[in-house]
Amino acid sequence: MTDTATLYIDGAWVPASDGGTRDIRCPADGELVGAVSEATTADVEKPTPAARGASDGGEWVAVPAPERGDFLLRVAAGLRERKAEFALAETLDTGKRLVESEIDIDDIANCFTYFGKLAGLDAGRIVDAANQAVVSRIEYEPVGVCGLIAPWNYPLLQAAWKIAPALAAGNSFILKPSELTPHTAILMMRLLHDLGLPRGIANLVLGAGDVAGAPLSSHPDVDMVSFTGGLETGKKIAAAAAATVKKVALELGGKNPNVIFADADFDAAVDNALNGAFVHSGQVCSAGARIIVEASIAERFVDELVRRANLIRLGGPFDHNAETGPLISAAHRDKVTAYVAKGVAEGARVRCGGTWGDGELEKGFYYLPTILDRVQRGMSVVVDEAFGPVVTVETFETEDEAVATANDTVYGLAGAVWTQDAGRGQRMSRRLRHGTIWINDYHPYLPQAEWGGFGQSGVGRELGPTGLAEYQEAKHIYQNTEPAVTGWFTEAKDAAIL
């Protein structure tokens, strides 16, 4: 897929002003996927006036909310019709297995369906002003121009979590996908264009974050920025956004605990621990990277986890025998390698993995599923996010100790509890400071349920009704139908005063 006009600005496809392009290569084998436009600083300035004009012009927000919802339902239908095309593009950019990308496209269509149905349901509310002459109501209006910055691990899914509510609320937007995984964003803009979205509402810039993404955070004509990605970048975005006091929504990852009690269903807990840690080679913000297991079963549990992890089959997107794929890039594989080496230097023991893939896997950026035990709270591998196929093992004796260990993180995105004691499961879910808690499961999410984290996992929520509210401003309209003189200030009629 090679196209040198892949910036979408004000309803038109244009190349970079200097003709610059970026080659996109598949992480599974290094093969060229295509070349796309690489925006310059000047190019990044162009979509903001278009989005501002579209927002201020009011064409999209003037469309009744139920009709905007109908448009999103047509987007969902279009995704389902073009599923094979979208899934292939996602797979080639990320290196993930094709079956995983197909699941992602189904989830993306479900996201548009959810917000399409939600769009017309909230017409605001009437406020009782305790005065029959007053009509007081709350209305919800679009924020305006939204800067949407999406990551590389789930490129279109994470973008859809932003695009769908932004459009449902009546906003215009500028999307900046990861420079490593741009192709499904391009396809999404083409779908929106084909479906007749008014010009200027959807815009796309491509390029590295410092050039293409950073200006969205500081630009005075961008009213909101929504970012999914790493903590340090998120901090920079929040700081840049503060200068114009724009709305900010940040999803910044996590160091997620998977707490296993001795009474858990052993086989299900092991299986889901593998799923939680190693799906998409651990490149998941909610990955269960911390196994926290009750001491009485720890040895048996870890031995079985290691046995099963050694059986995981790595391979490329179209290898039907593969169960997980490569990391996104050589640079990221080097980062994971250094992360494990630092943990070992601090005293962690490698029970399996801890090295690159060999043989045919040497063509891509593979890293073997890795389990580290003998770790202690405070070690870098326990504190820092690996964003790769690495899981640590900690133990506990009591429920209170399990809670303290699970909450000992600056993050707070997600976590799980495994127990057959229903009361314990509910107690733990209340005490854990994480935005999503699974009880006897790991990883499922629902478009109608809010997603986001406590602590340094971010600000705001995606999905659910709150995910729509992030893209809205609440306005109070107070109408007095019987205006009268207040009498608060007396008229200056008294001669003495005169």
CA distance 22 to 208: 10
Q: In Å, how far from its chain's centre is CA 50? A: 26
Q: What would the DSSP string read from start to end of 255-289?
A: --EEEE-TTS-HHHHHHHHHHHHHGGGG--TT---
How far is Cα 418 from Cα 291, in angstroms, rounded to an integer?
Answer: 11
Whole-number Å distance between alpha carbons of 418 and 424? 9
Select which of 90, 146, 285, 470 is catalytic: 285
Angle of CA points 114, 62, 199, to nearest 5°: 85
Strand 257-260 and strand 247-251: pairing?
unpaired
Q: Which helix (H) or strand (E) holds 371?
A: strand 370-373
Asked if 257 and 406 touch (Cβ cutoff 8 Å), the reply is yes
The amino acid sitting at 65 is: A
Tell me the one-letter amino acid at 454.
F
Calpha distance 335→1 (Å, rounded): 29
Active-site annotation holder among 179, 251, 294, 394: 251
Residue 352 annotated to the active site: no
Q: How far apart are CA 253 and CA 283, in angstroms?
A: 10
* Structure-token match 């509310």, residue found: 125
CA 367 to chain centre: 24
Q: Is 67 a catalytic residue?
A: no
Nearest to 389 by CA among 358, 414, 341, 355: 355
**DSSP SS3 for 28:** coil
CB 21 within 8 A of CB 35: yes
CB of 14 closer than 8 Å to CB of 5? yes
The set of residues, in sequence order, having a beta carbon less than 8 Å from that of 494 and lying 6+ positions away, is none
Q: Is 338 exposed, middle or buried (0-12, 13-18, 19+ CB in 10 A)?
A: exposed
And the tokens for 486? 């207040």
What is the 8-class DSSP label of residue 312? P
Q: Which residues contact 15 (CB under 8 A, 6 or more apart)?
A: 4, 5, 6, 7, 37
Rounded Cα gap, residues 171 and 306, in angstroms? 49
**CA-wise closest residue to 202 among 210, 213, 212, 191:** 191
Is the separation of the CB atoms in 33 and 226 below 8 Å?
no
Query: Within 13 Å and on the Cβ side, how many CA atoms surround 245?
Result: 0
Measured CA to CA in angstroms, residue 478 lies from 123, 128, 483 at distances of 16, 11, 12
Positions marked active-site: 251, 285
